Structure formats: structure tokens, C-alpha cells
Structure 1
Amino acid sequence: MSNVEQTVEIPHLGGSTVGYTFGRPYDPALPTLVLINSYTTSAELFRPQFADTALGSAANLLAIEPYGHGRTRSTYQHFTYWDSAVANLQVLAALGIDGAFVLGTSQGGWVAARMALLAPDVVKGLIPLGTSMDFESPRSVDLGCWDGVGFNTPTIDALADPVGEDWVVPDEFVDGVFDTAIGGLPAEERAFWLTTYRANYAGDAGRHRLRVSTVNLRDRDGLHGRLDEVRCPVLWLHGTADQVYSVANAQEEIQMFTRSPEARLEVIEGGQHFLSASNPLEVGSAAIEFVKRWA
């Protein structure tokens, strides 16, 4: 990636190294758009956004990798989505950025919402993509979302025992993620992600990070009781071909942001679960308009 890939040290979780990537060198004259990647991916998920010159001209693009993902490591071995939200805020502080918009794909959406709850003065607006604000509840299954407990439990069980240092994440796991999230990958893109996953999830430490990331996905807390405390504007983008979370769920949950100056759902025809990857043009133009309006 011809972008500025770096890490920064922060105090959270006993001391952490957090991976981040700027789309281009930071320009203090522009607003900043934080990009938070989906389950088991990395900052590389946002290559289409980094390649979008219009988006890069409208905002500093800053991808931050959550705990359990990419280059991010912590001293403590367990973490939650709240921890990733705290870490992201500490990264912004360490980089001297006092306000930002936050875009999150799938799990990135609920990390973004947690950031807005923790630091309403820092988060200027939210752009959740293909996400949910619930726990993996019977309610969400009734609304056409996946069975997150049934989907994730076999992985959690399979990753329970320590492995040797020669272990790498199985190809079937990577294929399963992208089949569900984007309807599969062309050969070149599949080869790219297999290489990336093998680097990020290797050895026993990689197995453990992958397992905790999956436990978090299955067992996270819902935000329904907190969403009325989000005070920034929200633009939720959701694809009609999303296999994980339904448009019906998004239609209910967008109404829970009752104190946002504006909370709007935009449905993208044919959009997949990893919407930033499947529909980068629509996501980019919506993000530009949102950031220009609220900056």
C-alpha cells in the first residue's frame, strides 16, 4: 500500500501498539475521517477509499486497526469493542487530532458508536456501514439478520487449544468471511487477503487474537439503551444484499438516535455487508457530502 502505514504507542490495556494508516500525509486544514475495519480484516480493507482522490481531497483518511486486528497489539490479552473505542480516541489524542468523523464497516460501526458515546466532543459525525447496534439477539434474527451465535460458536470452539508457532489461519476461514461479507472474491483479491490474514493471524498469539475477536463478535453488549446519548449526526449506509444484518434492522435502529441533529438511513441497492469494499463509489460520495455538510 503506497500509504503512510505506522504504529503509535498508547497507555490503554497495559500499554498498546496500535496500527494506523493515513491515506496521504496529514493536512491540518482538512477534517479527518477515521476508518474502522470489519471483523478480522485490517486497514487494507480501505484500499478503495485511499484510492478515491475526491474523498482524499475532502478529508484526511485515517484507518485505525481495532484490538485483535492488523498490527494492533496490547499487553493485556483480552479486550472488547469498548477497549477499541478507547484506543482509537487515544490514537487521535496522540496524533494531535482533536475532532474527527468516524466511518465503520460492520463491527467498525459499533466501535464508532462507542467512540461517540465516550467522547461526544471529539466525534463530529458517524457513518456506520452494514452494521447493527444490537447484541446478537433473537430480535435481530427475527428481523432477518444472521444467527451470530450459531455462526461464530464453531470457530470459537475450534480455536480453543494452543497451537504451534507454525500455525496460520486456515484458508477456509478467510473464504468463509469473504463469502458471507461480499459474496466471495476474485482470484487476485483472494490471494491478497490470504497473504494478509496469514501475516496477521500466525502462531499461538495469532490464534488467540482471532479467538477473542470472534468471542467479541458473538458475545458483545448491545447499545439500544445508550443510542439516545449520541449527540452527533449519523448517516447509516446499508446494502440490500447484506447477508449479515438486514435493512429492516437498520430501519429500526436508526430511529433510536433520538438526540442526533440528524440520523438518516441510506439504502444502497445491491450493496454487500462489507459495503466500503463492495460499493466504494456510493460510500465515497455519501461520505464527502456528509463531511462537507457537518465539518
Structure 2
Amino acid sequence: MNKTVRIPHLGGIEASYKIFGAYKQYKPTLILINSFTTSSDLYEAQFNNKELTEVMNLIAIEPLGHGKTKLRAGARVESDSQNFTYWDTAIMNVQVMDALGIKKAFVLGTSQGGWITVRMALIAPDRIAGIIPLGTSMDYENERTIKLGCWDGIREVTSLVEATTSASAVDSYEPSTEYCEFLIDIGFGKDCPSSTREQWTKAIKANYQGDAGRKRIREAAINLRERDGLHGRLTNVKCPVLWLHGDKDVVYSVANAKEEIELFDNSVEKNLVVVPGGHHFLSWTHQQEVDKAVLDFVNKNSKGTGNAQAMREAVGMVDI
């Protein structure tokens, strides 16, 4: 079950997150960030994996415009102002860390979650122990990425922006079945199980109900379509980077990932792992491969070479 915490950014956000069990300060922490118009449920398999939960705290934070995270004008009133960017979500996530007493964390993100992990590493470098982008891109939507086999994001997302644009309230709004099918096809694969298709069609429709839902999905779509690129800033990322990418990803290509991983030229460690048969929402379609890579990455980078105090502080554990 999701919990919420009120944080101050943008005049007040009710940030929604899911945590496995009680937070244990002696364990490293992994923050999980979901993909476009999904929710923290994208990581339900990871929350059910004892190999992960025994080693680390798992906390899934839902970005602005997603899940139960909401901008709040007051204690209970949702704000009419729904303007936000991916930088705002990155700041929100760091403030959630503050509110929960997390000194340092690893961050994993799928698609849009991937570039949020980088933004978190840029705005709070001393708080991020390592980043794990999945099926993502570090660029804005442009001809370069299209030529490398990525989707035409501006074209694909504009139809959603137009479908949710209205000068007056649309209280009956819910996402169309066509949109849900489109997202499921590109995210989970056209050959995904019918149970996956049914689960996410139901979830997407339920999450974006009414005029408030229309406004949230519209801003989330604008955020995706019109985001800024990160190429010039990737050299400023110093923490370890593990990029996982499926070779059946139809949104962002392996060719693009191979170019962009090299731009992390000042990271203490950078690796691109291509997962055979993997789709865009890789942690769902290829859980075992992702979970093993995550476990190895966190275990490796949670270990220091100094004394026990330094080792524990390095991964945000409680002071000794």
C-alpha cells in the first residue's frame, strides 16, 4: 500500500511512495522510479523478491503526474497549477529522502525514470550512491535519436497532448483504450500476457479519471515531449552507472544507449548491459536479469575500502 509524505517543493507536494516493510538504516536503499503513466506497481516483482528485500530497502516514489503523487495548494486541496518538469520530480525525490531520513541511496528508473535518476545525481551528488537507468535516453526528442532507431517521441506524444487539451473541465475524462493499448505494446511488448494487458489498462484508466486526471496526464505528456537533454551534463555525474537495455526496446534503441553511456566520462564506473529479448519496461519483462544485475551492483558499490564507519556512511546507513 502506498504512503504519502508532504514535502515543500512547488509550494507543497503530497508525494506518494511504496516501501517494503519497515525502513532499516543498516541496509543500503534502492529508490525505484516508474515509467510514463505507470505507477509504483511497475516494481511489484521487485517488492516480492526476497533476495532484494533481504539486502536492501526498496522505496518506489511516484513522479509528479503519476500514481497518487499530487501537487497541493493546501492540506487537502489539489492545486489548479499543474506545471512541473523532470527537474521538479528529482528535487521532490531528494526531499522525500530528507523526510524519510535517507542519507544516501541508489536510484533505479525506467524510461523517464532513467533520466530522473541522472537529475537526482546532478542536484544531490553526495546523496546518490549509484544510478541504474533502464530502457532510457539521455537526450531530448530529436532527429539524432530517430536516426539511431528510437521512436519519434514528439509525434507519438503530441496526439495524447491534443486529446487532453480542453478550455473547459472534462469531468467524464478517462484515458482511451487505444492509448492504454499503445503504452502496453511499446512498454511490455505486443506479445505480453493478457493478464498484464488487463492489469495496466485498468490501472491507467483508474489513475487518470475526471478533469484532474486529464490535467495530470496532459502535463506529464508535455513534460515527456518537451524535456531538456542531458548530454552536456553527463560529464558531471561521478557516481557508478549501470545502464540496462533490452534489445527489443522499441522506444529507445541499443545504438543510442551505446553512444550515451560513453558520455558518463567522469563516472567512477559505467557499464551498459544489453538484455536479450528485453522490452522497454525491462524490470517487468525480464525481472530475473534485472534483479540479479541490481543485486550485484548494490552489493559491489555498498562496500568501501576504509573503516566500518566510513563504509556505513557511504551507503547512507545509520551512524555507529
Q: State how far apart, in whole Å, the 2-side matches of 1:167 and 1:144 are.
A: 34
Find the counterpart in structure 1 of residue 21 from structure 2: 24
**AA in 1 matched with 2:259:** E
Find the counterpart in structure 2 of residue 110 from structure 1: 115
Q: State how far apart, in whole Å, the 1-side matches of 2:250 and 2:196 are.
A: 20
The structure with the larger Rg is 2
**AA in 2 matched with 1:246:** S
Q: State how far apart, in whole Å, the 1-side matches of 2:82 and 2:177 are.
A: 25
Q: State how far apart, in whole Å, the 2-side matches of 1:164 and 1:212 are.
A: 15
**AA in 1 matched with 2:272:** L
Give the counterpart of 2:173 among 163, 167, 183. Answer: 167
Shift of 1:213: 0.7
SS in 2 for 1:88: helix
Kindly indicate whether residue 156 of structure 2 is the aligned counterpart of residue 151 of structure 1. Answer: yes
Shift of 1:199: 2.4
SS in 2 for 1:21: strand
Kindly indicate whether residue 185 of structure 2 is the aligned counterpart of residue 179 of structure 1. Answer: yes
**AA in 1 matched with 2:148:** L
Confirm or deny: 8 A CA contact 2:109 2:117 kept in the other structure. yes
Q: State how far apart, in whole Å, the 2-side matches of 1:167 and 1:139 are.
A: 35
Give the counterpart of 1:125 among 108, 121, 130. Answer: 130
Give the counterpart of 1:280 among 276, 287, 291. Answer: 287
Find the counterpart in structure 1 of residue 83 from structure 2: 78
Give the counterpart of 1:191 among 198, 202, 207. Answer: 198
SS in 1 for 2:82: coil
Confirm or deny: 8 A CA contact 2:33 2:62 kept in the other structure. yes
**AA in 2 matched with 1:27:** K
Give the counterpart of 2:64 among 63, 67, 71. Answer: 67
Give the TM-score, by structure 1 length: 0.97
Give the TM-score, by structure 2 length: 0.89
- The number of equivalent residue pairs is 292
Q: State how far apart, in whole Å, the 1-side matches of 2:51 and 2:116 are.
A: 26
Kindly indicate whether residue 251 of structure 2 is the aligned counterpart of residue 244 of structure 1. Answer: yes
**AA in 2 matched with 1:52:** N
Q: State how far apart, in whole Å, the 2-side matches of 1:44 and 1:8 are.
A: 18
Find the counterpart in structure 2 of residue 88 from structure 1: 93
Shift of 1:163: 4.2
Shift of 1:17: 0.1
Kindly indicate whether residue 214 of structure 2 is the aligned counterpart of residue 212 of structure 1. Answer: no
Query: What do you get for the CA RMSD once the two structures are aligned?
Result: 1.1
**AA in 1 matched with 2:99:** A
Q: State how far apart, in whole Å, the 1-side matches of 2:234 and 2:83 are.
A: 25
Confirm or deny: 8 A CA contact 2:184 2:200 kept in the other structure. no
SS in 1 for 2:133: strand
Q: State how far apart, in whole Å, the 1-side matches of 2:110 and 2:83 are.
A: 22
Give a deviation string over 1:55-77, Cα, whole Å, max 9, x none: 11121010000000000001341
Find the counterpart in structure 2 of residue 230 from structure 1: 237
Q: State how far apart, in whole Å, the 2-side matches of 1:192 and 1:182 are.
A: 12
SS in 2 for 1:225: helix
Q: State how far apart, in whole Å, the 2-side matches of 1:59 and 1:12 are.
A: 27
SS in 1 for 2:231: coil
Which consecutive residues of structure 2, in runs of 5 or more, have no partner in the other structure?
A: 73-80, 303-320
Q: State how far apart, in whole Å, the 2-side matches of 1:137 and 1:174 are.
A: 24
Shift of 1:5: 1.9
Q: Which 4+ stretches in 1 moved above 6 angstroms?
A: none
